[in-house]
Amino acid sequence: MYMISFIDRTNISLAMPHISQDLHLDPQQAGNAAGLFYWGYCVLQIPGGHLAKHWSAKKFISILLIVWGFSAAGCGLARTGNQLIALRILLGVAEGGVFPATLILLSHWFSRAERARANAFWLLSLPGAVIVSSPISGWMLDRWNWRVMMAAEGALPLVWLAVWLICMRDHPSEASWLPERDRERLTKTLGDEAREIESAGRISYLRALVDRQALALIAVYFCFCAGQMGLVFWLPTAMKMMHNLTNFQTGLLYTVPFIVGSISLVVISRRSDRMRERRAHVCVSLLIGGACLLAAVFFTTRSSLVAFAFIALSGIGAYGPMAPFWTIPTETLPANAVGSVMGLVNALGNLGAYMSPVVVGMFAKRTGNYLAGFAFLGLVTWLGAAFTFALNPARNGAAVELAARAPET
């Protein structure tokens, strides 16, 4: 489900050179068309987390699948830049509740001892979406045009809805396919962990949203999203500008950083679970990613091959921090407020994903290349690493001990 979501969100990056030509957009306007999605994305973040926690993640996401499918397919019908922007904002609204709802869904199924890995396997959908779709999208662009590509990929969530309704359950207690012994053991483990967090005390929603931990999470995630999504949206255009590549060739090369990101996502999450540590894993991953982006800028005028190698390695910073980062709220915040806080973090943090395509587009418009823009992405990723020092670790030793004792199922 989330692979489809990310495809419909990011396929505009490969199509952007063609969209800009057909709709007469300059680089700054193109950055707006890509990035304004994230203003719509803010709308359902907090309500989405609350509805998933207190109503049903399955039913809520089912509704969103329908709305974002029509919005994504509609982007292929846009005739002006303003129409495209309006549809992208509506797509953002529709997709906005999916992320916090899925995080809540995973917390209903996986104990703390497994949660970073569970988050990682889910978040593999992000680089996986690019790896799977980019060559196909490039082929469709060469074979037909960007309108056909966006309309066809926009129809995917409507097809997937049937699978989602049949297969998904909100809680392990509802899963008839799970053996009774395993179902009871998992339900007990999750219940014990929930009570342990509740014993630390409840907190009002307003206080939770302005808590220092929430603000630190927002700052880290804002910088992370700025670096990640700036790379996602502008790398294909930068590659086509520097080299005379077909859309299919661009799509193939574009997958390399995301393959590296997929590997780092799994490796870092497993190490984070094994060491019962989150904050340092986020920090080091961001430091590596920022350094690789800056090194790529340095080597671009010296060796394209070395520069691309560093771009590929920057995938470590683009995806490696995600699993331990999203484990931190569920291990440090009261259960009654965690859904709303994660929604706020995702909403405000993703404004970095709006800001960076616009800033990179402004640099490209003024300088005629993407070097300054990519240097900015490296520096903002480093800033995110610095903000991790403001994060609190797990609430107390008891929580860690409970996680260490939790059985793996």
Match 């990613």 to its residue by tokens.
289
- Tell me the pLDDT of the chain (409 aa) as tens digits: 989 998 888 888 888 888 888 888 887 778 777 778 888 888 887 788 778 888 888 999 999 999 999 999 998 888 888 889 899 999 999 988 888 888 888 888 888 778 777 877 888 888 888 888 888 888 898 889 899 999 999 999 999 999 999 989 988 888 888 888 888 888 888 888 777 666 555 555 566 666 788 889 999 999 999 988 788 777 777 776 666 677 777 777 888 888 998 899 889 988 888 888 888 999 999 999 999 989 988 887 888 888 889 988 998 988 889 888 988 887 777 766 776 787 788 878 888 888 887 888 888 888 877 788 889 999 999 999 999 998 887 544 333 333 333 334 3
At 151, the amino acid letter reads A
**Backbone dihedral angles phi then psi of residue 55, each to the nearest 5 degrees:** -120, -95
3-state SS of the chain: helix, strand, coil percent to 5? 85, 0, 15
Q: Among residues 174, 201, 188, which one has the least CA distance to residue 335? A: 201
Q: Among residues 211, 174, 192, which one has the least CA distance to residue 338? A: 211
- Which pair of tokens denotes residue 362? 């402004």
Predicted TM-score of the model (pTM): 0.71
Beta-carbon contacts of 61 under 8 Å, excluding residues fewer than 6 positions away, are: 1, 97, 98, 101, 102, 164, 168
CATH of domain 2-170+202-405: 1.20.1250.20
What is the residue extent of each domain of the chain?
Answer: 2-170+202-405
402 Cα distance to chain centroid: 29
The 3-state DSSP class for residue 113 equals: helix
